[in-house]
Amino acid sequence: MSPDALARELKAREAQGSTAITPWFAVPHVVAGGERKFDILLARCRQGVVFSEEAPAVQAIFVLVGTLGERNFYLSALAAIAQVAGHSEFRQRWLAAPRPQGLRDVVLLAERGRH
């Protein structure tokens, strides 16, 4: 998917209803063409991005893009993201993390239940 196509798809998805889970956290997501593809992009904006009137300063954005065949993986990833982001110290750690690797570490090293 080209960057322009991805941007169009994300805007169209957001127009259907905000993907902001909280006033500071959002999980925009789209279905891509093809097979057996899934990717996550972590983004931080300390000043905040406007997603809606209810979420005018989103600082943590997890963009999910996957093909229809990866729906189960998508749902598992979404559940793990919700668990990580729901931790009481997540926002503070997210905003304080240095460099992109620090953001990955906040997510990968977070406490969460394993099933």
Helix (H) or strand (E) run with residue 92 in it: helix 90-96
CATH number at residue 28: 3.40.930.10
Residue-level pLDDT at 87: 87
Domain that holds residue 13: 3-108
Is residue 65 domain-resident?
yes
Residue 46 has φ and ψ, to the nearest 5°, of -60, -30
Is residue 113 domain-resident?
no
Number of independent structural domains in the chain = 1
Predicted TM-score of the model (pTM):
0.88
Pull the structure tokens for residue 66: 């996957």
- For 34-73, the pLDDT digits (tens) are 899 999 999 999 999 999 889 999 999 999 999 998 888 8
Q: What is the mean pLDDT of the chain?
A: 90
Residue-level pLDDT at 7: 92
Residue-level pLDDT at 79: 87
Is residue 69 domain-resident?
yes
Is residue 114 domain-resident?
no
Is residue 92 domain-resident?
yes
Whole-angstrom distance, CA of residue 22 vs CA of residue 100: 22
Whole-angstrom distance, CA of residue 72 vs CA of residue 94: 27
Whole-angstrom distance, CA of residue 18 vs CA of residue 37: 24
